[in-house]
Structure 1
Amino acid sequence: MSLTRQITICLAIGAMVTFLTVGLMTFWMAKQHDIEAASATRTMVTGGLASARHKLEALTNDYAWWDEAYQAYHRDDRGWIDANIGTGITGTEIADALVIVSPEGEIKYGWALEGGDAADAIVSKDIIKTALDVTRNVPVDRAQARTILARGPSGVLMVGAAPITPVETAGSSDKSTMPMLIMAQYLNEERLGELGRSFLLQDLNVSNDPIDGQDSFALADASGATIAELTWTPPKPGEALLRTAAMPLAGALGVFTLTMFLIGFRARTLASALSWSEQQANIAARRDHLTGLSNRKGLSELLGSKQCRQAASRGELAVIYLDINGFKGVNDSVGHHGGDQLVREIAERFVQVLPAGSLLARVGGDEFVVALVGVNAANVAGVAAMLSGALGVPFNVCGVEFHVSCAVGYTTTATGDAEAEELIRQADMAMYQAKGDGVREPLGYMSSMETGALEKKQFENHLWNAFQAGELEVFYQPIARSSDMGVTGLEALIRWNSPELGYVSPAKLVAAAEESGLIRDIGDFVLDRVCQDMRHWPDLRVSVNVSPMQLRDPSYPAGFQKILKRHRVKPHQIEIELTENVLIDDPDAAARKLAELRKLGVTVALDDFGTGFSSIGALRSFPLDRIKIDRSFVQEMTTNPESIGLVRALVAVADSMKLEVVSEGVETAEQAQMMRLCGCEYLQGYLLSRPAPVASIVELLEAAPPAGAVVENTSSLRRVS
């Protein structure tokens, strides 16, 4: 080796050592500086929040420690209470809501900021119960107020609570006679901004999902459950130091070091980098990025390996297919980040119960596959049962408890072909059969499953092709006032007369569309066609049926509004009809979606009313405008006198809640007359018209006499004047 080369190598090594030493030390010092600054900021933010709670407690005590307030409450002097306590909200806006609660826990007086949430919405019954609990054993003195954090309708609340106490008799007062004063403040942008500015923080915020680079700590309610995160971006003075001092030095040393090394090792470095990248790409292509498990490709390669083929020839290979029930409800409730957390936790539970040597793969959003090789394959049913049982304990995701289960199917090489995809298909078919039949236990593959599944798949393919080819049609059926038979609206109904299958019942069509996921596209098609056809009857309201799957889609309200805007149709011209299954499956999500749609001006009707077990509760809990009495009641009225009393009761319930009533299935003039006598406002059925294409409905309405015209047949349709 020449002296020049030796010197070059020594210089290069010396430069590299110097570069790494100085760089690492500078980087370490900068990081330590950032850590110290972040710790100090966290301490200040924590203290600031504690200070805010103390201020709210002091403010609550000032209002609660008041003889006149105690006396005014017991003599029910609303004027004094409003002038002296209510003005704290209406005049000085010290909080978002202020309520006075009776010893029994009921709000007797309440005030809230104008334009915000109502007082009883902000201070919910749960908050009142918690406030009573946390103050129950607090000594009666000037420091009796307590604060809690809770979730309100518009964000996280800081709530102060204290009993309204007569000062002179505080030591001997009976706490059970004292009303409770509760003051609630949202941790909104304005309050958090004021708190953050005192610590030179620009983005102090309440969030459920801190982003990268942010610091946070949990905001917990009185039970200790996390309801949100207080987040902020901590200052990073170390980064500024690193940019100022380290970069010039690193640049100079880096240029020198790279020059030396690139000459001799460029080819080797490139080869190594390419080899490493290829290895990483191969691994990534066979791994699920969320759980780290094998994906479908990795699973297929394993099942096609020599080891598995040999095991299959000995009948020692089995596949288990699992589909998680209830997974979509988690995504709808706490977002996709919560769904990702659930998937990881499910994978961990499965790994814990699987025997050694098993392979677990994630092959879909909420679908897993297990491969058992060797002796474990003989106990495939037992392993499948253990996997199903692993989900028996509920999951805590983002502070919310969820119960999920799974549909499980399995197969072994003794039941069919040993090809990898065939084994997965058989296990998938068994799982699909278990899911469709509602079977809770794992179900083994049987060849008899093939016929039903194949026919179902073929029908779904027919439906998809029909939709693509434009074979689906929208028919309409009139809805008229019972008093004068004036047409006030129409119901849009999907119809399919297949060239291959003939007439397909709407129930079978909708069921297949929901199962295949095509229902969203069909729903958009129906609404789009209705908006086009409404040019023929701009003064009528048209009803469209909504599936539970459509309503569970988070983007449904926005897509609904987009279609209406495209055709310039006013929302009040559209009514959505849904069955109570929509309300029962996921009541919270359904209520939110319906509220969004009603804000647009859309009306909501509950179809087939009276046939289910929760419809009365649905009337109270959901934003409805109209109920439609099921045709079965109408058909029985002429033969069963008890049905008349039942219909009258249903109409009375609707009237008491200011809901319109439509009677479905009216086929005779006698039925129409009986529904009028029962107080039903609107009629729909074959007496008026069978469902018909748009052209036939246009002709029917044009031929109908005006509302005031005298006609012999009182059951004839009339045009609305």
Structure 2
Amino acid sequence: MTVTPRLRARLFAVSMTSALILSTLGGLAYVVSAAISSMAASADEMDDMRALAAAKGALDALRKQLGATVRDNAYWDDAYLSLKGNGAQAWATENWGATTADYPLYDTAIVLDAAGSALMAYHKGITLTDEAVERFFLGKLPKIVAAARDVEYAADDLPVAFAKTSEGMALVGAAAIQPADDAEFDMKNANVLLFSKQMSANVVAEIARTFSIAGLAVEVGLGNPAMLHADVLDIDGHEIGRVTWPPMHPGTASYIRARPTIILAAIVLVSVLLAVVICGLLIFRGLRKSEQVSRYKARHDALTGLWNRAGCLEQLDEMLRPETGGSNANLYILDLDGFKPVNDAWGHPVGDKLINAVAVRLLEGLPVSAIVARLGGDEFAVLSATDNIGSNFTVHETILRALSIPFKIEGRTIEIGGSIGWARAGNGALDSTELLRRADLALYRAKSVGRGVAVEYEPGLDEEAIWHAELEQELRLGLLAGEIHVVFQPLIEASTREIGGVEALARWTSPTRGPISPETFIGVAEKAGLIDQLGLQVLRMAIQESAQWPSIGVAVNISPLQLKNPYLCRQIKEVLEEYRFHPARLTIEVTEGVFISNPDQAKRAFDGLRKLGVKIALDDFGCGYASIGTLREFGFDSMKIDRSLVFNLDKEGNGGAVLHATIALANALNLPVTAEGIETEAQATAVRLSGCDRLQGYLFSKPVDATEITRRYFKEHQQLVC
């Protein structure tokens, strides 16, 4: 099989992807391995730091505990006074010396006088002489005693530090024995109380249990360098020993325990890498086999087998290349007329078969050189190098002729048509996007003027599109600026010639363009998505003005698109409540467009309006295709016959009979009838005699503002208001 550039690119992508996966997994394995090693080392380091912090904390706690004990005993009025009397030695022995035998906080207690002699000295319950004290503390005692008598030192903190003794390392604390308040007290000559606690094996073991430091020991000197340690400092801040303990290395221990699992994971990873390699090879084979199928599907419509939108644009780009004579390329866009009712009536399977039948007929009717595509839904495209295909028929005429013949689908005869918009490439100056845009503009014009029409693009269509875009923007601004206003045309009772209601009509005067016809700006609002905003403004103004005429109702036109708004009924209810307008006085007028726009949605909207108490009227009956069944199904409260039926009264023929039959139909359904477009007395008499209930037209009044309605029909009410 020939390797196409696209397939080559896909194969390259698969190769690169496989390589990327392999390198990613390999890198992942390396990162995971490094991460595990780093985690083990970090865990070891964290445990070492924890143990070091715990050891330092333990030493600091011992110092604070001994310092507090010395402070509590030295800063004692009774002790100060007792040591000044004759029984000083006995009192000191009883309170401090005797307790050294089994007291947990200290095992040595000494009271030194101003001369440095021991007034009392006990170690583990045994009395000591001055010489024994000197030997026990290895001559280091004077510095601690001097620090205890140092006024500045003692005011900040008591001197508590480690010291070497004849029995090993000890924690020593001292303080001047002093009263709370004595003007004659002299710190320099005060007695000094000294407590000492030997760092025995039992004391060290208790610290190890309390602070979770296994293997804790006190060593004099540097000790074993493999051991962790915390420095033990003397009164001068010099290191005189170390608290040591062996490192636990929990991270390394965990790594050793997890090693079998890590090895198993490595085996799994290698298996995955092999699987990736095998899958890559299989994908290579699959890509080679599926390239043609994928290429076909990517460019062809699944239903008809024609080129799809992507394939059509690709073919169009090819035709527009200068070397292929792109100046002669023509693009035709066909939109079927009447296709949606086929789907609605017989379902999508029949619709799909009709689409296939249209595709076959286009292929059979057009030259082989023409390219036929389905762009989606019921929209087709035809590419041709020329519009004239011989036999005195053009491409667009051939397409329309092909669609004019009825289709036979499963025993059904189906008639449809089509609208065509087409554009010429023109000297190779266009790309496919611009040519498609022009053909779309032409199609839009074709559908707006009627069915079965082909329109060629002309520059005027661009001007029209720009005009519509500018008008849309002006309408948006006009809605915000309140430029829309409402006029009213009276609805006259046929029997009494008195006003029975009004119809509210929207009007807009553009600041730049002047008055714009409702047919124009309402159409723009519908296409621009502004119809809900416009309709709500008109409804609000109509109800606000009509509230001053309590004896009549008001009719307001609603676009079929507004019925798709799920909040329409709630918005109408809020406006009615805001102006305290009785719902029965409001009539919503809809055209026959509701039957084709979305009948189910229209029914739901009608149900909501009826629950509010609002009436619903069918407008312009007789100009479309509403049937008796439709009138019954939707359950209108009244109807308006189209002005064309009234206009035909003045012409020869059966105009009068048609009008009479239409009104008779409404009367048979018990629907009140309003005739619009009444301009002469003869017309008014004819429709009244035919059974029409209300009349509307220029014979009675053109649309006028609310002030004029009040002046003409509600003078008394106006006087009451004034």
Please tell me the TM-score bracket, short chain as reference: 0.3 to 0.5
Instruction: Indicate the structure (1 or 2) with the bigger Cα radius of gyration.
Output: 2
Q: TM-score, normalised by structure 1?
A: 0.46
Q: TM-score, normalised by structure 2?
A: 0.46
